[in-house]
């Protein structure tokens, strides 16, 4: 994979944020719209295929984040859309299943959906 200045800009933006971002959010945050949205999508697809980033999907929108040494997943509130990071405890389970089926895992993703404490309280008060 060739690291173009456009790809560097996208990775730099993702590395500076704690929350996952959609392609549209990344596009809006790029200085002076230095590339078009399709370039952002293509770059994100390349990074995902290379294992540099991961993604979670909510309401038909993918949110991307840099892979870190401490692999993690997200819980997403269906009420306020807030994302909560959670540690991954699936690695050994996935690897055991892969070994059993002679399967080579390239990556995995898990997103948990539900309601945060604030949204649960709002639903009770209704």
Closest CA relative to residue 82, chosen from 20, 13, 29: 20
Q: Tell me the average pLDDT of the chain.
A: 85
Question: Are residues 74 and 63 part of one domain?
Answer: no
pLDDT of 7 above 80: yes
Helix axes 37-50, 5-15, angle to 10 degrees: 70
What pLDDT score does 126 carry?
63
pLDDT of 66 above 70: yes
Q: What is the mean pLDDT of residues 63-75?
A: 77
Count of structural domains, the chain: 2
pLDDT of 82 above 90: no
- Domain end marker among 48, 67, 86: 67
CATH assignment of the domain containing 120: 3.30.1490.190
Question: Are residues 77 and 61 part of one domain?
Answer: no
pLDDT of 79 above 70: yes
Question: Are residues 109 and 63 part of one domain?
Answer: no
Question: Are residues 83 and 103 part of one domain?
Answer: yes
What confidence tens digit (pLDDT) does each residue in 83-106 have? 887 877 777 888 899 999 999 887
Residue by residue, DSSP assigns 42-106 as HHHHHHHHHTSEEEEEETTEEEEEE--SS-EEEEEETTT--EEEEE---HHHHHHHHHHHT----
What pLDDT score does 56 carry?
79
Question: Are residues 44 and 15 part of one domain?
Answer: yes
């Amino acid at each position: 994979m060739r690291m173009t200045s456009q790809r560097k800009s996208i990775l730099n933006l993702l590395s500076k944020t704690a929350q996952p971002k959609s392609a549209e959010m990344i596009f809006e945050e790029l200085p002076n719209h230095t590339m078009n949205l399709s370039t952002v999508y293509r770059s994100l697809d390349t990074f995902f295929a290379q294992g540099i980033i991961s993604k979670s999907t909510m309401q038909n929108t993918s949110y991307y984040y840099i892979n870190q040494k401490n692999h993690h997943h997200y819980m997403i509130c269906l009420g306020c859309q807030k994302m909560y990071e959670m540690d991954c405890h699936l690695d050994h389970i996935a690897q055991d299943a892969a070994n059993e089926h002679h399967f080579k895992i390239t990556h995995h993703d898990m997103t948990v959906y539900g309601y945060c404490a604030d949204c649960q309280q709002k639903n009770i008060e209704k």
